[in-house]
Chains A and B, each alone.
Chain A
Amino acid sequence: MQEGAPDPGLYDFTPYRGRRPFAWPNGGKVAVWVSPNLEYYEIDPPANPHRKAWTRPHPDVVGYAHRDHANRVGHWRMAEVMSKHGFPGSVSLSVALCQHHPEVVADANARGWEFFSHGIYNTRYSYGMDEAQERAIIEDSIRTVREATGQTIRGWLAPALTHTPRTLDLIAEYGLDYTCDLYHDDQPFPVRTRSGHLISMPYSLEVNDHYGFFIYNMSPREYARTLIAQFERLAAEPSGTVMCIPLHSYLIGQPHRIGAFEEVLRHIAADPRAWVTRSGDIADAWRAAHPEALA
């Protein structure tokens, strides 16, 4: 990015009107990817000068235990429902989960899910890091995921969405393909970096389960209706859009929510306009359909 400039200079303006429609590999109009956040939050993390990890003195029992539910209960419930309806995950991973709870990571890997990095812990923020420190967490992410799963990460969702002005340049330099941190479009687009080949992968805050339940205070069934409305609208528009469903299993995997969510998966899986896939597959298909974009 252009550090200090009013426009960070990340991408060109491209209006939605007039774009060339294209079909996803199965002929679908909207690529649907589900993105479980598999995270580890530390009970007593060191302080970052720019952001507090917990709102309460450590241990924040409610906050910690809620996230812990994901790794003990929620993941398994959410993952079973996804597998049942044919949805792979594209995981935003706190890579230290590979050390703490390898059971969760191995389960996701065995289901054919893709992993990208969401930092080391969701309680360690990038704010204030120098370049060497930021390189260290990128290198740690690549190495840790490779050792735990055999996969080479292709994407990045900044830990707790904390960035530095260098983040996108650095992940591109390390050969990553896509960033999930930019929210300017319903389709992938090239992102300008020092080394040039990064694309923005449409993620979503608006239909993120955290936003649904804690920003918009939706009931489980209201959230399910919201996801279906999001899908129906994107599927009705010119072909080539992307819908991401970002999840936290300590939220969507609660017993009062998972049933309503299963109905969403059933709905989308039955619609031939959907291409149900993973984020890396979307990046590949988009590049194949837009050979000129990153030339």
Chain B
Amino acid sequence: MSLDPAYLAYPRRRLGYDHDLYPYTPLPQRAPLAWPGGKGVATWLVVSLEWFPITPSDTPFRAPGHMQTAYPDYRHYTAREYGTRVGFYRLLDAFAKVGARVSVAANAAIAERYPQIIADIVEAGHELIAHSTDMNGTIASGLPREEEAALIRHAVDALTAVSGRRPRGWHSIARSQSFHTVDLLREAGLDYCVDWANDEVPWTFANGLVNIPLNHELSDRQILTVQQQSVGSYAEQVRDAHDWLAAEAQAQGGRILPLHLTPYIIGLPYRMDAFERLLAELAARPATWFATGSDILDAFRSQT
């Protein structure tokens, strides 16, 4: 038995990455960032607002949270709708209580089906970022480039038409991209994406698009649903992260604490009190700067 000789050839073994999407710099070697008001921790709340057709698609892959039983899967279809109808409004009220403006990553289908919810988001001063068409709109290599470009345009145009302003940010379903995505996002006129969770401050792709890393490890989905920990443990982990980042920011410059939220996960009655207490605690900390993705982007760009 032996392997194809190509398996022991390393054509991209070189200084820097094995791709040309973005350059490498270790965080300690970068100039420190300063957030407005001298705050240390940009506390960035990102809500994924999603519509799951009861007819799931597996092309190119089935989205996390999608239908699981034989058709018709009322169980998951309605539980996801619960998040949009009920949980999300709990979250809007919770954000208002602490004066936090957040980024809402909304499917085009949310705007097309529920324009009222878009109006409520805009009215509260939150940012809308594009999040594909609906939860059948997943992206991965193998999706033809033209189809991917059309999907991105549809997502951006629908939010623009209903909200009256063009989104600047992009969040792929499951953070999944193809090798074309970064260029297609730029061609669609977007300023930033959130999908590459490889850092704790923004950085710029070779083509000029900015990435603001949305940590998947600190998401409600990862901690509560995948790892099946309690909301109390979730809140403790977020507090611990904030403590660490605030201390680090004093010596090394501004950091981001990204909290990725899902209305049908965190917006349940038995979790909301703990989540509201967490928000109140974060709001009371002197290092906290509740910021949208665009706020962070603008602060980053003004310094680089």
Enumerate chain A interface residues (CB-CB to B < 8 A).
40, 42-44, 46, 48-49, 56-59, 61-62, 64-66, 68-69, 71-73, 75-77, 96, 99-104, 120-121, 124, 128-130, 132-133, 136-137, 213, 217, 219-221, 254-260
Cβ–Cβ contact B175 & A255, under 8 A? no
Q: Which of chain A's residues have a CB closer than 8 A to the CB of B215?
A: 254
The answer to whether A103 touches B26 (Cβ under 8 A) is yes
Count how many chain B residues have C-beta atoms less than 8 Å from C-beta atoms of the other chain.
62
Main secondary structure, interface of B, reads: loop
List the A side residues contacting B31 at CB < 8 Å.
none
Residues of B within 8 A of A66 (CB): 197-198, 216-217
Closest 7 CB pairs of A and B: A130-B2, A68-B198, A256-B241, A65-B198, A255-B241, A217-B227, A256-B237
Pick the most buried of B195, B241, B245: most chain A CB atoms within 10 A of its CB: B241
- Do A259 and B24 contact each other (CB < 8 Å), given the known contacts A57-B141, A66-B198, A96-B10? no
Q: Are A56 and B61 in contact (CB under 8 A)?
A: yes
Contact string against A for B residues 199-218, beta-carbon threshold 8 Å, 1 for contact and 0 otherwise:
11000000000000101111
* Distance, CA A213 to CA B140, complexed state (A): 27
The answer for the CA separation of A40 and B199 in the assembled complex, in Å, is 16
Partner of A72, one of B13, B198, B243: B198
Residues of B within 8 A of A57 (CB): 60, 140-142, 178
- Could you list 23 examples of A-B contacts with CB < 8 Å? A46-B4, A59-B19, A59-B141, A61-B196, A62-B175, A66-B198, A66-B217, A68-B198, A72-B27, A75-B26, A76-B27, A99-B13, A99-B14, A100-B15, A100-B18, A120-B10, A133-B2, A219-B229, A221-B236, A221-B240, A255-B244, A256-B244, A259-B243
B7, B24, B175: the one contacting A46 at CB < 8 Å is: B7
Chain A nearest CB, measured from B213 CB (Å)? 8
Tell whether, in the assembled complex, residue B8 and residue A136 are in contact, meaning their CB atoms are under 8 Å apart: yes
B174→A62 contact, CB < 8 A: yes
Asked if A43 and B8 make an inter-chain contact with CB atoms under 8 angstroms apart, the answer reads no
Q: Which residue of B lies closest to A144 (CB)?
A: B13
A65-B198, A100-B13, A128-B3 known; A254 vs B18 contact (CB < 8 Å)? no
**Minimum distance in angstroms from A4 CB to a CB of chain B:** 14
Which of B10, B178, B244 has a CB less than 8 Å from the CB of A259? B244
Q: How far apart are the CA atoms of A71 and B178 in the complex, in Å? A: 23
Q: Apart from A66-B197, A100-B17, what 16 extra A-B contacts exist at CB < 8 Å?
A: A43-B18, A49-B3, A57-B60, A57-B142, A65-B198, A66-B216, A99-B15, A100-B18, A100-B24, A101-B16, A103-B29, A124-B7, A255-B240, A256-B240, A257-B240, A259-B240
Q: Is B70 an interface residue (CB 8 A)?
A: no
B252 to chain A, nearest CB (A): 10
Cα–Cα, bound, A99→B7 (Å): 18
Task: Return the chain B residue nearest A80 by Cβ.
Answer: B28
Q: How far in angstroms is the closest Cβ of chain B from A81?
A: 10
Q: Does B12 contact A (CB under 8 A)?
A: yes
Q: Could you say which of A40, A59, A75, A100 has the most chain B C-beta atoms within 10 Å of its C-beta?
A: A59
Q: Is B114 located at the chain interface by the 8 A CB criterion?
A: no
* A128 near B218: Cβ-Cβ < 8 Å: no
When distances are taken between beta carbons in the complex, the residues of chain B under 8 Å from A120 are 10, 13
> Is B160 engaged at the interface, CB distance under 8 Å to the other chain?
no
Knowing A57-B142, A76-B27, say if A219 contacts B237 (CB, 8 Å): yes
The residue of chain B having its C-beta at the shortest distance from the C-beta of A124 within the complex is B7
| B18 and A44 contacting across the interface, CB-CB below 8 Å | yes
Task: Produce 1/0 per residue, B113-132, CB < 8 A to A.
Answer: 00000000000000000000
**Chain A's nearest CB lies how many Å from the CB of B300?**
16
A33 to B228, CA, bound (A): 31
Nearest B-chain residue to A258, judged by Cβ: B244
For the complex formed, measure the closest distance between the CB of A74 and the CB atoms of chain B, giving whole angstroms: 9
CA distance A219 to B222 in the complex (A): 11
B303 proximal to A (CB < 8 A): no
| A255 touching B245, Cβ below 8 Å | yes
Chain B residues with Cβ below 8 Å from A221 are 236, 240
From B6, which residue of chain A is reached at the shortest CB distance? A46
Contacts of A43 in B (CB 8 A): 17-19
Is B257 interfacial (CB-CB < 8 Å)? yes
**Complex Cα distance A196/B103, Å?**
62
Q: Could you tell me if B216 and A59 are in contact, using CB atoms closer than 8 angstroms? A: no
Name the CB-closest residue of B to A255.
B241
| B28 in complex: contacting residue of A58, A76, A130, A133, CB < 8 Å | A76
A121 to B15, CA, bound (A): 14
A11 to B175 Cα, complex, angstroms: 46
A266 CB to closest chain B CB, in angstroms? 15
Among A40, A104, A254, max chain B CB count under 10 A is at A254
B57 at the interface (CB under 8 A from A): no
In the complex, which residue of chain A has the Cβ closest to the Cβ of B200? A73
Residues of A close to B196: CB separation below 8 A: 61, 65, 68
Give the nearest-CB partner of B176 in chain A.
A61
Q: How far is the CA of A61 from the CA of B173 in the complex (A)?
A: 11
Report the Cα distance A101→B243, complex, angstroms.
29
- CB nearest neighbor in A for B195: A61
B19–A44 touching, CB < 8 Å: yes
Query: Is A65 a contact of B197 with CB atoms below 8 Å?
Result: yes
User: Can you name the residue of chain A whose Cβ is closest to the Cβ of B215?
Assistant: A254
